Amino acid sequence: AQSVTQPDIHITVSEGASLELRCNYSYGATPYLFWYVQSPGQGLQLLLKYFSGDTLVQGIKGFEAEFKRSQSSFNLRKPSVHWSDAAEYFCAVAPNRDDKIIFGKGTRLHILP
Amino acid sequence: EAGVVQSPRYKIIEKKQPVAFWCNPISGHNTLYWYLQNLGQGPELLIRYENEEAVDDSQLPKDRFSAERLKGVDSTLKIQPAELGDSAVYLCASSPRGAYNEQFFGPGTRLTVL
């Protein structure tokens, strides 16, 4: 069965610093990959998704993610974080477009002023 | 455009009591999902509807959980009786027909069972 691993439960960065959140998946073929963000008391919002094509995907709020097949990874990056980026980030995978989405356990991002 | 609406936002009940959550999806979205999110975990799918038909309810604990979407629009998720372990956030999401990877989530209902 496919799964997704987010190895970091908490990440703390200073405002203005760069950010990378890690995500690894286990699945033979190239799955559909997603990053969602959840602010406190809010539902999940889709940041970006990858289905095929260019392995560097641009999303909303200045985020990007890179698909690396050889490493089974889909890491999320942002060059300069803002205090408003403090939230929980979920990586997710689906084997194909008709299958349910499996979410990782999330990484909580803390921003230092 | 209004997003996915859920109510109530918070609910506190005693164990063995019944509880119901309501969800109104984005207008025109045929597919509706209910997810369970335990503390420190990602969401887990409970049930997926295509219009009024439950097409995937394999993860719904049917001994105490039930759901309905009678007219293919809004939906209700019920727990009867609630147990302590049901304390969690219940998320509703919707997507256009066939676009299972374009899900829009509501704010969720946080349930506390005492």
Taking only the tens place, the pLDDT of each residue in A53-104 is: 889 999 999 999 999 999 999 999 999 999 999 999 999 998 877 778 899 9
Residue of A nearest to B40 (CA): A105
Best of B100, B102, B110 to substitute, by most chain A Cβ atoms within 10 angstroms, is B100
- Calculate mean pLDDT across residues B54-83: 94
| pLDDT over threshold 80, residue B101 | no
- Calculate mean pLDDT across residues B14-29: 96
- Name the percent of chain B lying above pLDDT 90: 85
Between positions 72 and 91 of B, the ones with CB within 8 A of A are 91
Q: Are the beta carbons of A43 and B48 separated by less than 8 Å?
A: no
- Calculate mean pLDDT across residues B57-74: 92
Torsion of CA B54, B58, B61, B66, to 10 degrees: 0
Instruction: Grade residue B100 by pLDDT with cuts at 50, 70 and 90.
Output: low
Cβ neighbours of A41 in B, within 8 Å: 9, 107
Select the residue of A43, A99, A100 nearest B105 (Cβ to Cβ): A43
Cβ neighbours of A46 in B, within 8 Å: 102-104
| pLDDT over threshold 90, residue A43 | no
Looking at CA atoms only, how far is residue B97 from chain A in angstroms?
11
| pLDDT over threshold 80, residue A28 | no
Q: Which range in A22-31, A38-47, B37-46 is most confidently predicted, on average pLDDT?
A: B37-46
A95: burial class by Cβ within 10 Å (0-12, 13-18, 19+)? middle
| pLDDT over threshold 90, residue B96 | no
Between positions 27 and 46 of A, the ones with CB within 8 A of B are 32, 34, 36, 41-46
- Calculate mean pLDDT across residues B46-53: 93
Closest-CA residue to B49 (of B64, B60, B63):
B60
Average model confidence (pLDDT) across chain B: 93
B26 close contact with A: CB closer than 8 A: no
Can you tell me the distance from the alpha carbon of A40 to that of A60, in angstroms, rounded to the nearest whole number?
18
B25 close contact with A: CB closer than 8 A: no
In eight-state DSSP terms, residue A9 is S
H or E element, residue A37: strand A32-38
Residue of B nearest to A33 (CA): B101
Cβ neighbours of A35 in B, within 8 Å: none
- Calculate mean pLDDT across residues B10-25: 97
Count other C-beta atoms under 10 Å from residue B44's C-beta: 15
Instruction: Grade residue A29 by pLDDT with cuts at 50, 70 and 90.
Output: confident
Can you tell me the distance from the alpha carbon of B7 to that of A73, in angstroms, rounded to the nearest whole number?
37
| pLDDT over threshold 70, residue B1 | no
Predicted local distance difference test score (pLDDT) of residue A22: 98
Q: How many residues does chain B have?
A: 114
CA of B47: how far to CAs of A22, A66, B3, B60, in Å? 29, 31, 20, 6
B45 close contact with A: CB closer than 8 A: yes
Can you tell me the distance from the alpha carbon of B111 to that of A26, in angstroms, rounded to the nearest whole number?
32
